[in-house]
């Protein structure tokens, strides 16, 4: 349902559109966000509300007073729970999405900070014919052909780890097993993320192949301190639903360099996201090198450190 709200919000308002219907959907999405506890639902609904809050005329100067004049406060109101319990920590992914939503409202360029479909965005670089792009923008905030390269580096970091967690939980064909793993990620007390995303990426072991799938059930490679039981990464094969491209992995590894391009300074880009601050940079670089090798089916000894 949250994904449906985001798809509806991606349609830009037209003169013939029913304003009351759009307002009703926006209110329902806000109401749903008040009670939602699952991190992915909250992130998706936040994206939807951000798209609905964008003005039709993106060239109009930011209002100093009134509705839409304070994006930070507006997003904070969206994420406030219904029972106003301030002791519930926000999920790191939702908190990162909050910051990006504020940037999208301030710049009015949602394609740089939000996405519509995680897998579809990560699967394509995002280049397209300029004329076609202009025509699509007449009816959609974010075109279906928008890829990961159009996102700011901070949004690319978030997209990558959101997909990793979804892949870990969504593996396999049995719906009851998948729902059970999703429930393990739906926690409201620390740790909110598994150690493979916040401490060490080694348990993910992404170089496993279909031949080794028999010894790769979820939880078989987790550390003793992990209660999520999601590792290792699903072996590459016919059953793998999503695979990162070599270019995507190379870009993720490049963002871990000490230098920062001038275009990244405006967002105070960190080469490690907030939830990655306890992961050694060398560990992250090795992980994305292995993911790059996985994309080309290279043996583990040929993967660059």
From the list 161, 39, 41, 26, the residue with the least C-alpha distance to 88 is: 39
Which pLDDT does position 251 carry in this prediction?
Answer: 94
Q: What is the pLDDT along the chain (305 residues), one digit of tens a residue?
A: 999 999 999 998 775 667 888 899 999 999 999 999 899 999 999 999 999 999 887 777 776 666 767 899 999 999 988 776 666 789 999 999 999 999 999 999 999 999 999 999 999 997 654 444 444 455 899 998 899 999 999 999 999 999 999 999 988 778 888 888 888 888 777 889 999 999 999 999 998 766 555 567 888 889 888 989 999 998 886 656 788 999 999 999 999 886 655 554 445 567 789 999 999 999 999 999 999 998 887 554 444 44
Whether 143 and 136 have beta carbons less than 8 Å apart is answered as yes
Torsion of CA 241, 167, 162, 242, to 10 degrees: -20
Phi/psi at 206 (5° precision): -75, -5
Which pLDDT does position 84 carry in this prediction?
Answer: 62
Which pLDDT does position 305 carry in this prediction?
Answer: 45
pLDDT in tens, 262-274: 554 445 567 789 9
Whether 171 and 178 have beta carbons less than 8 Å apart is answered as yes
Which pLDDT does position 257 carry in this prediction?
Answer: 83
Which pLDDT does position 265 carry in this prediction?
Answer: 46
Q: Give Cα 94 to chain centroid, integer Å.
A: 9
Using CA atoms, how far apart are residues 151 and 103, in angstroms rounded to an integer?
Answer: 12
Which pLDDT does position 212 carry in this prediction?
Answer: 53
Rounded mean pLDDT of the chain?
A: 84
DSSP letters for 89-131? PPPHHHHHHHHHHHHHHHHT-GGGT--S-HHHHHT------HH
Helix, strand, coil percentages, rounded to 5, for the chain: 50, 0, 45
81-89 own/partner pairs: CB under 8 Å, 24+ apart: 81/34, 81/35, 82/34, 82/35, 88/188, 89/188, 89/189, 89/190, 89/192
Phi/psi at 253 (5° precision): -70, -40
Which pLDDT does position 34 carry in this prediction?
Answer: 92
Whether 242 and 163 have beta carbons less than 8 Å apart is answered as yes
Rg (CA), the chain: 20
């Amino acid at each position: 349902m949250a994904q449906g709200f985001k798809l509806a919000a991606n349609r830009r308002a037209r003169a013939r559109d029913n304003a009351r219907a759009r307002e009703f959907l926006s209110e329902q999405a806000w109401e749903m966000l008040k009670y939602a506890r699952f991190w992915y639902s909250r992130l998706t609904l936040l994206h939807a509300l951000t798209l609905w809050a964008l003005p039709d005329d993106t060239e109009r100067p930011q209002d100093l007073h009134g509705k839409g004049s304070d994006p930070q406060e507006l997003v904070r109101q969206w994420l406030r729970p219904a029972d106003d319990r301030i002791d519930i920590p926000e999920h790191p992914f939702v908190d990162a999405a909050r910051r990006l939503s504020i940037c999208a409202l301030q710049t009015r360029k949602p394609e740089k900070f939000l996405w519509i479909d995680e897998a579809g965005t990560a699967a394509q670089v995002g280049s397209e014919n300029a004329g076609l792009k202009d025509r699509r923008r007449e009816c959609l905030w974010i075109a279906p052909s928008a890829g990961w390269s159009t996102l700011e580096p901070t949004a690319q970091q978030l997209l990558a780890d959101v997909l990793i967690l979804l892949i870990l939980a969504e593996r396999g064909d049995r719906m009851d097993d998948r729902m059970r793993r999703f429930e393990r990620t739906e926690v409201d007390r620390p740790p909110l993320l598994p150690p493979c995303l916040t401490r060490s990426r080694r348990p993910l072991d992404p170089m496993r192949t279909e031949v080794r799938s028999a010894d790769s059930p979820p939880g078989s490679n987790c550390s003793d301190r992990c209660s999520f039981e999601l590792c290792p990464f699903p072996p590459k094969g016919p059953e793998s639903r999503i695979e990162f491209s070599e270019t995507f992995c190379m870009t993720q590894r490049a963002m871990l360099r000490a230098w920062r391009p001038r275009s990244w300074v405006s967002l105070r880009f960190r080469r490690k996201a907030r939830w990655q601050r306890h992961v050694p940079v060398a560990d992250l670089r090795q992980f994305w090198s292995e993911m790059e090798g996985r994309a080309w089916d290279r043996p583990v000894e040929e993967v660059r450190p």
